């Protein structure tokens, strides 16, 4: 059975900026590269995670994994969405290193780097989350 490549959004409500960036500082101090796993994005804000992976971006990622469109025009058509809006979301997903864009001739092919995205959300016992997240539809 093939192992699924997973990207994780990790919510750590009590994490300080120092804790969230400790891997980066360790890399700077030791000269080692890639100490922070590329497949994990940690935040102490649910709002920040929600801004990263909006419903539209989730839909784009799912389409890339399931349908593997050959270019962004095909992706926009499959989703029945405006090309400019899809392009903007594709840029964000690329910046998060969840997808990559591969130039193939005159076309740009969006490719999912992972098979799935998971959310690591701890159960908070006797603690208040720092911020309240409101989901709207």
pLDDT digit string, tens, across residues 26-85: 666 666 665 567 899 888 899 999 999 999 999 999 999 999 999 999 999 999 999 999
Stated pTM of the model: 0.78
pLDDT digit string, tens, across residues 84-108: 999 999 999 999 999 999 999 999 9
- Asked if residues 63 and 75 have their Cβ atoms less than 8 Å apart, the reply is yes
- Which domains, from first to last, does the chain contain? 6-120 (1.10.10.10)
How far is Cα 79 from Cα 21, in angstroms, rounded to an integer?
36
- Residue closest to 53 by CA, chosen among 89, 21, 77, 15: 89
User: Phi and psi dihedrals of 101, rounded to 5?
Assistant: -110, 125
How far is Cα 131 from Cα 81, in angstroms, rounded to an integer?
32
């Amino acid at each position: 059975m093939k192992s699924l490549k997973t990207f994780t959004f990790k919510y750590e409500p009590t994490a300080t900026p120092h804790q969230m960036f400790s891997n980066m500082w360790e890399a700077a101090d030791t000269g080692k590269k890639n100490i922070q796993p590329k497949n994990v994005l940690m935040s102490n804000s649910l709002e920040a995670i929600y801004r990263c992976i909006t419903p539209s971006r989730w839909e784009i990622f799912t389409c890339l994994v399931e349908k593997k469109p050959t270019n962004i025009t095909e992706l926009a058509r499959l989703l029945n969405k405006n090309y400019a809006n899809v392009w903007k979301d594709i840029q964000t997903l690329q910046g998060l290193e969840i997808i990559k864009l591969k130039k193939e001739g005159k076309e740009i092919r969006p490719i999912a780097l992972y098979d799935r995205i998971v959310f690591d959300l701890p159960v908070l016992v006797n603690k208040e989350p720092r911020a309240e997240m409101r989901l709207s539809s």
